[in-house]
Amino acid sequence: MIKSINHIGIAVKDLDISLATFKKLFQVEDIHTETVADQKVKVASFKVGEVRLELTQATDETSPIAKFIEKKGEGIHHIAFQTDDVNNELLRLKNEEFQLINESGVQGAHEMLIGFLHPKSTNGVLTELCQPKY
């Protein structure tokens, strides 16, 4: 079952420059950074209220983030929703005829299992499902 918004992903060209901007905007200092090699990205994330913002920079020109920025420029890339069971939700949504990018969960940032729904089946919004590894 989908429970809540976990984070909003923002595609950026330069993580350091963007992070400086958002630090000033939201007056945050508690920043988590990591590289997710499988996804070819480096992320910096922080909470604003109960929602995490995730700034995401490509580490390779073949990264989906690099392709997104090339096509659409920097900006909101995806909205992630938390679930207790990513694989079960992906199967349920596939049975509901949603187009999946991931047939099963893959490793994401914050040690989460993640899976994406194609924006063609969600009114143009790239939707991520994420499951914390408790």
Taking the domains of the chain in order of start, what are their residue ranges?
2-132
Q: How confident is the model at residue 18 (pLDDT cuts 50, 70, 90)?
A: very high
- The residues near 96 (Cβ < 8 Å, ≥ 6 apart) are none
Confidence check: pLDDT of 57 > 80: yes
Strand locations in 1-134, DSSP E?
2-11, 32-36, 41-48, 51-58, 75-83, 106-107, 112-117, 127-132
Question: pTM score > 0.85 for this model?
Answer: yes
In percent, how much of the chain has pLDDT > 70?
Answer: 99
Residue 60 is predicted with a pLDDT of: 94
Q: How confident is the model at residue 20 (pLDDT cuts 50, 70, 90)?
A: very high
Query: From the DSSP assignment, how many helices (H) and strands (E) are in the chain?
Result: 3, 8
Average pLDDT over residues 42-52: 94
Q: Which CATH architecture has domain 2-132?
A: Roll (3.10)
Mean per-residue pLDDT of the chain: 95
Q: Is the dihedral of CA 82, 15, 111, 36 positive or negative?
A: positive
Which pLDDT tens digit goes with each residue over 80-128?
Answer: 999 999 999 999 999 999 999 999 999 999 989 999 999 999 999 999 9
Q: How confident is the model at residue 133 (pLDDT cuts 50, 70, 90)?
A: confident
